[in-house]
Amino acid sequence: MSLPIWTPDALQSEKRDISGPWWRLVEAQHQVSTMKLVDTVDEQSLLEDILEGSKRQFPPECAGLDYLLATPFRYDSAYPHGSRFRRAGWTKGVYYAAASVETALAEMAFYRLLFYAESPATPLPANAAEYTAFSAEIGTSSAIDLTKPRLSDDKSIWTHPTDYDPCQTLAETARAADIEAVLYQSLRDPNGGLNIALLTPRAFVRKQPVERVSWRIRLAKTGIQALCEFPMRRIGFAVQDFAGDPRIAALLRG
């Protein structure tokens, strides 16, 4: 299949305004992972400062941003594995998020299952894991939407489950065209929800997350169950929900 050819000028003609909250999940241990290493909160604060000083500096555009928003842009070197809109290697960061909590949970569910599908000797965790879902306000007049014409004419290429090269090439062209965000269909959400790949932290409207919600996510051989106690919500995904990705086949056979 031949790859679509999009030039910076062509992408400029497709840009549009977007605004609103976008959701992302992180493991809740980001807040408490160092507690077990120290005896007091003062010692934890000192340890966190030492660890922070050992990490790569944030880009200048991240000044003042909450670390949950800034962290994806910090690691602009030695990216170990490519993602849909970012190549492996010395590449700039991308902030991935979803238009709804449900889609963000589906993305998390898929990648947790994928880890165990590719590590069959690793036992499934016995307990549910704690996650924080948070929304960030994003607004820009320089976004492109792969679910809208003319870009959606190449939907089969943008939505390939494992070949990310066309999307990575598009992101590189988008950066050259000063495009700040790429909207695209989630391949992991059974309902086909909308995702965003934010190419620059300049598009954050607020420097802090807008909302935070705690979730407990349990992984089983049959799928994933997610529970939010306040407000009470339950969302589940079966392994079959992700059967369109060949990498999940091992779990289905098991």
Is 187 a domain residue?
yes
The predicted-structure confidence for 17-75, as pLDDT tens digits, reads as follows 999 999 999 988 555 555 555 556 555 555 455 554 445 567 889 999 998 999 999 76
Q: Pick from 48, 17, 46: which is nearest to 32 by CA?
A: 48
Is 186 a domain residue?
yes
Average per-residue pLDDT for the chain: 88
224's CB contacts (< 8 A; 6+ apart) are 109, 112, 113, 217, 218, 236, 237
**Run of H or E residues at 74:** helix 67-74
The whole-number pLDDT of residue 54 equals 44
Q: How far apart are CA 27 and CA 196, in angstroms?
A: 20
Q: Where are the beta strands (DSSP E) in the chain?
A: 16-27, 95-98, 129-145, 181-185, 194-198, 211-220, 223-229, 232-238
Is 23 a domain residue?
yes
Is 2 a domain residue?
no
The whole-number pLDDT of residue 79 equals 78
DSSP states of 4-53 as a string?
A: P---HHHHHTT-EEEEEEEEEEEEGGGTTTTGGG-SSHHHHHHHHHHHHH
Is 211 a domain residue?
yes
Least confident of 31-45, 51-65, 99-113, 216-230: 31-45
Look up the domain containing 234 and give its range. Answer: 8-253
Q: Torsions phi, psi of 26, nearest 5?
A: -135, 155
Is 110 a domain residue?
yes
The predicted-structure confidence for 115-151, as pLDDT tens digits, reads as follows 988 888 899 888 999 999 999 999 999 999 999 999 9
Least confident of 42-46, 120-124, 176-180, 214-218: 42-46
And the tokens for 213?
Answer: 């919600």
Is 1 a domain residue?
no
Q: How far apart are CA 135 and CA 147, in angstroms?
A: 22
State CA 98 to chain mean position distance. Answer: 8
Return the percentage of the chain with pLDDT > 70, whole number: 85
| Count of structural domains within the chain | 1
Is 3 a domain residue?
no
